[in-house]
Structure formats: C-alpha cells, structure tokens
Amino acid sequence: MREHEPIGAWLRSSRSQRRVGPGAICASCGKESRPYALIFGRDPPCCYRCDRIAQGHLPYEDNHVFGKRNSDLMIRYPINDHRAVFNVKQLDWTPETLENVNGDPLLEAMARFHGLDDNVVHMLADCIAFVPKIKHVQELLVAIYGPDWLPGLEAAAKHASGKPVAKEPRVRRTSRVVLPAKGD
Ligand SMILES: [Zn+2]
C-alpha cells in the first residue's frame, strides 16, 4: 500500500532541503537542485552524478522497481533520478509493502503495481519534457518547407546526397472492428 500523507511528505521535503541548505544547487554542474540528489553535508553543494563522475564511475544506479524484498527486477537510471525520484516515491510505500518480511504474495502484488505506477509516471514526464524540442524542429521545418514539409525535406536530402531517398512508409490509418460471429 501507498501512504497518502501529504504532511509527512512535506516534512520530509523541507527537512531534506534544510540539510543541503536553502536554494542549494550543485556547484559542479550548476543544474541539480533537488535536495535528495545533493549529497548531504557537502560544501560547496555537489550532486551524486557529479561526485560519481569525479571519482571515475558511471553516474547510474540500479533501481529495484518493485522493492528489493519483492523482486530482483532492476532498471538502471541516472543516479540523481534514482535518489531524488524513485527512492523518494518509495518513502510513500508502507513499510510492510516495501519490506514484506513474510513474502506475502498480495503485498508483493501491491508493490508491483506501485512500482509500475512510479516508473510509468516518471517515463511519461520524461517524454513530455522532450516535446518542446520536437516542436522546435517541426516549426523550423515548416518555416523552411511550408506546412507539408516532408516532400520538401525529402527533395532537399536527395539533392544533397545525389541518391534517391526512401519515402516515408505509408501507414493505413483505418480501424478495423472485429464483430463476433453469429451464434457467439
Ligand atoms: Zn552536479
């Protein structure tokens, strides 16, 4: 189960911010400001990613998607996301679900749903954050070749390479409804 304790979450968040200092931001990359991604007690502030790189290690960590006691399944994430997103989300799981000391299959099932929820929400946010870049490129293509930019771009590519360019595969945008046969 997941505990819906907004006050507890707020207290944890404000406590972690106090531990790294108000408005703290990593002095190495100048980008990371999530308190749980900053190493407590470091002055100047430093994030886990920059610390790993400085020590010659890759800046990734394996996330136990469903909790270590429930499954061995792991996904490798950037270390700052693992610390500031997934570890924090799992703080909302009840200890009995996360630790599942008796191997209760129903608690394990609940942990799987919570883990799936945490990961899908994070991946969706990551995709949505990428949309402005796609929009920027689409607007540039429209500005150069007009609203129907694909044929213009294909012609430009053909002209630049001197080779024929493969056309975009045509996808039939029709839907098919399968009706049950008589007698079903
Ligand atoms: Zn950093």
- Shared domain check, 111 and 86: yes
Instruction: Output the CA 129–ligand 1 centroid distance in Å.
Output: 20
Specify if 171 maps to a domain.
no
Give the span between the Cα atoms of 133 and 47, in whole angstroms.
26
Instruction: Output the CA 81–ligand 1 centroid distance in Å.
Output: 12
Instruction: Output the CA 7–ligand 1 centroid distance in Å.
Output: 29
- Shared domain check, 41 and 106: no
- Shared domain check, 154 and 127: yes
Q: Which residues of the chain form beta strands (DSSP E)? A: 60-64, 74-78
Specify if 65 maps to a domain.
yes
Query: What rounded mean pLDDT belongs to the chain?
Result: 88
pLDDT digits (tens, 9 = 90+) for 135-157: 999 999 999 999 999 999 999 99
Instruction: Output the CA 55–ligand 1 centroid distance in Å.
Output: 13
Specify if 146 maps to a domain.
yes
Q: Which residues have CB under 8 Å from 120's CB, separation 6+?
A: none
Q: What pLDDT is stored for residue 173 in this prediction?
A: 61
- Shared domain check, 69 and 38: no
Please say if the pLDDT value at position 171 is more than 70: no
Does 152 or 184 have the greater pLDDT score?
152
The candidate with the shortest Cα–Cα distance to 20, out of 6, 8, 32, 7, is 32
Q: What pLDDT is stored for residue 170 in this prediction?
A: 64
Instruction: Output the CA 65–ligand 1 centroid distance in Å.
Output: 24
Instruction: Output the CA 48–ligand 1 centroid distance in Å.
Output: 7
- C-beta neighbour count of 39 within 10 angstroms: 14
Give the span between the Cα atoms of 17 and 26, in whole angstroms.
13
